Structure 1
Amino acid sequence: MTLFNGIYPFYPQERKPFVFDVSLIIIIVVFLVFAVSFLLILPGIRGRARLYWLFRVIISLFIGGVIVAVNFTSDWERGQVRANTTYKSFSSALVHVDVGLKVGLSGVNITLLGNPVEQLNETINYNEYFPWLFGNDYNLQYDKGLRQGLPHPILYVAEKFSTYNPCDLNSFYRIAGHYASATLWVAFCAWLVSNMLFSMPVPVYGGYMMLITGAFLIFALLSFSTVRSAPTCVIQFGDASLRPVYGASFWLTLVAGLLCFLIGGMVITLHYARPSLLNAFFDLCEDEDEDEDKVLSEIYVNPRFPPEHDVASQPNLRLSVKS
């Protein structure tokens, strides 16, 4: 901390990590534990079914992990710009910085990194998070940043998403994030049901539910895409402008949705075209009960003792009793 106009700036809140937060790390660890646990019991599965189980479980955990994780990521949209701008309000001193913006379903991350980091006898490396989900008042967080004396570029970008700004980006992104998050949780429930149906004797119903999972993932993307209908609000830094584009979470959700459609379509197609191949993939045997009946109906005769019909077929056989 350096002295600025006789006042030491104070930042009491915790910095939110730029890429990962605690919730996201917990989700990743939980799904990794499930994956490792399955890999430990995988050697106990015999034959070709081992590869089928490995493929099914890994793909299913990937889809489920993506559905849960993207709810907590902050890179549905992202943008970055390099500019010369003022560092403090009411100051004409310019700094050369990289301003970054990441928009999630529950808030925005704004970063400020000096180039170089040490300028004006200060270390310019900030990462601020402004939430708007689950009862968090964005304006309250923005006012708190004003009182704390955050750098001017961060406040300038954050102000674009406040309700004070005529662009009204806050309402567009907040409502779109609410609907996208709710739709993703419905997709997660559908994913759970599909996994239970895949373990049933008729896996085609799991294929139908997997199509529903993919449909809700696409609905979540469409819900978030409605922010593109917001009025054009340019975040300008001199000659450079900060224009966000779709980030990794958006494209990862799209991949998971298309993968759900692919899996559901293949299961339904195989159910009508090659049911035996589908049953083999899901380790199901239609003739299992028939085989058990055959085993129970078979009679095994000890070769040392001839059958009754063989004895009856020998007319010259006589029984004699010695006195």
Structure 2
Amino acid sequence: MTLFDGIYPFYLQQRKSFVFDVSTIIVVIVFLVLASTFLLIIPGIRGRVRLYWLVRVLFSLMVGVVIVVVQFTGDWESGWVTANTSYKSFSHAVVNADIGLHVGLGGVNITLVGNPVNQLNETISYNEHFAWSFNADYDHSYSKGLEKGLPSPILYVAEKFTTQSPCNVHRQYRISSHYASASLWVAFCTWLISNMLFSTPVLVYGGYMILVTGAFMVFSLLSFSTVRNTLVCPIQFGATSLHIDYGGSFWLTLAVGLLCFVAGITVIALHYFNSDLLKTFFDLHENKTEDYQEMTEVYVNLQFMNSTPSPPQSSIHTPNDI
């Protein structure tokens, strides 16, 4: 690094991972602790009920952790491109690098990795996050990037999402992301309610609520997809273009939402057509046959029975005995 007017034009980066960050790791650890706690309880449950408990607990925790984790991931939309591009402002130096754009519900992550990483006597490996949440100003983050002297490819991509950009996609992305996040938090609440309802004798209400959970997850996807209705703003690096498409978090949310639909419809169908099987799966069916089979044998001490004194016989007096 060289000095420019007494300051360093570049700085140590890697402030945030484009897929996982500290918030995501904390959420995953919390749900793993809950899963481990239930797994410690599982061996104490007898018979086939143990398997039913394992399926219910793992499915419920999977739905819950996905709903929360995708709030903090940064790959709802993502794309990569390899191009020869200028590296610094006011310089004709050109580098070959992989440029990545990853859009999440809370902002965008822009990565720049050189091919090879060490070029121009520098390590080209950047990953910058620009947030647009309610408590974060995207334009302010972009201005800070300008002051710190981020590489030109990062600033070029980040400028596309500013409020002053001719692309005019900032408002659409920010609003759609906020509605998608709100829908997911509602889905998390309905997920909690469904778990409570599955602990009651009326299991069909839990099935209805897990359907609502899947519906709100799908609503979040539809809300985020509204950005596709805007005009495509080209991101050009010479003759190559950076195109983004739905990422892993989008497809994961869709898969879990559809799985909630399947689970809810199954519970409702079993309630009306085979309620005994449904109660057995949720350990609410009284099976007296299994209870009788698990009763221990009763041993009778015959010596104790023989030594038991017989009841005294009452004497009958006749008039001749008087």
TM-score normalized with structure 1 length: 0.88
| Superposition RMSD in Å | 2.4
Could you report, residue by residue, the CA deviation over 1:34-57 in whole angstroms, capped at 9, with x for unpaired residues? 000000010110100000000000
Partners of 2:287 and 2:101 lie apart in 1 by 59
Counterpart residue number, 2:261:
261
Structure 2 counterpart of 1:182, one-letter code: A
1:1-323 counterparts in 2 under 5 A?
Answer: 1-3=1-3, 7-11=7-11, 15-285=15-285, 319-320=314-315
Question: Is the partner of 1:127 in helix, strand or coil?
Answer: strand
| Offset at residue 11 of structure 1 (A) | 3.8
| Offset at residue 93 of structure 1 (A) | 1.0
Contact 1:113 1:124 in 2 (8 A): yes
Distance verdict in 2 for CA 1:179–1:56, change over 3 Å: same
Structure 1 counterpart of 2:21, one-letter code: D
Partners of 1:122 and 1:77 lie apart in 2 by 30
Structure 1 segments (4+ residues) deviating >3 Å? 1-7, 10-14, 318-323
Partners of 1:46 and 1:220 lie apart in 2 by 40
Question: Is the partner of 2:98 in helix, strand or coil?
Answer: strand
Partners of 1:4 and 1:263 lie apart in 2 by 61
| Offset at residue 89 of structure 1 (A) | 1.3
| Offset at residue 10 of structure 1 (A) | 5.0
Structure 2 counterpart of 1:97, one-letter code: A
Could you report, residue by residue, the CA deviation over 1:18-48 in whole angstroms, capped at 9, with x for unpaired residues? 3311100000000000000000010110100
Partners of 1:167 and 1:198 lie apart in 2 by 48
Could you report, residue by residue, the CA deviation over 1:265-288 in whole angstroms, capped at 9, with x for unpaired residues? 000000011010000000002688
Contact 2:142 2:159 in 1 (8 A): yes
Counterpart residue number, 2:294:
none
| Offset at residue 6 of structure 1 (A) | 6.5
| Offset at residue 171 of structure 1 (A) | 0.6
| Offset at residue 178 of structure 1 (A) | 0.4
TM-score normalized with structure 2 length: 0.88
Structure 1 counterpart of 2:182, one-letter code: A
Contact 2:13 2:126 in 1 (8 A): no
Partners of 2:121 and 2:10 lie apart in 1 by 17
Could you report, residue by residue, the CA deviation over 1:250-273 in whole angstroms, capped at 9, with x for unpaired residues? 000001100100000000000011
Structure 1: stretches of 5+ with no match in the other structure: 292-303, 306-317
Partners of 1:52 and 1:194 lie apart in 2 by 17
Contact 1:114 1:125 in 2 (8 A): yes
Question: Is the partner of 1:166 in helix, strand or coil?
Answer: coil
Partners of 2:8 and 2:258 lie apart in 1 by 52
Structure 2: stretches of 5+ with no match in the other structure: 292-304, 307-312
Question: Is the partner of 1:83 in helix, strand or coil?
Answer: strand
| Offset at residue 79 of structure 1 (A) | 0.3
Distance verdict in 2 for CA 1:146–1:230, change over 3 Å: same
Structure 2 counterpart of 1:162, one-letter code: T
Contact 1:107 1:132 in 2 (8 A): yes
| Offset at residue 12 of structure 1 (A) | 7.8
Structure 1 counterpart of 2:135, one-letter code: G
Aligned pairs, how many? 300
Question: Is the partner of 1:78 in helix, strand or coil?
Answer: strand
Distance verdict in 2 for CA 1:118–1:2, change over 3 Å: farther
Contact 2:221 2:250 in 1 (8 A): yes
Structure 2 counterpart of 1:167, one-letter code: C
Partners of 1:12 and 1:237 lie apart in 2 by 25
Question: Is the partner of 2:118 in helix, strand or coil?
Answer: strand
| Offset at residue 7 of structure 1 (A) | 4.3
Partners of 2:124 and 2:4 lie apart in 1 by 14
Partners of 2:5 and 2:87 lie apart in 1 by 14
| Offset at residue 319 of structure 1 (A) | 4.5
Partners of 1:203 and 1:210 lie apart in 2 by 11
Contact 1:85 1:96 in 2 (8 A): yes
Percent identical among aligned pairs is 66
Distance verdict in 2 for CA 1:33–1:181, change over 3 Å: same
Contact 1:2 1:122 in 2 (8 A): no
Question: Is the partner of 1:258 in helix, strand or coil?
Answer: helix
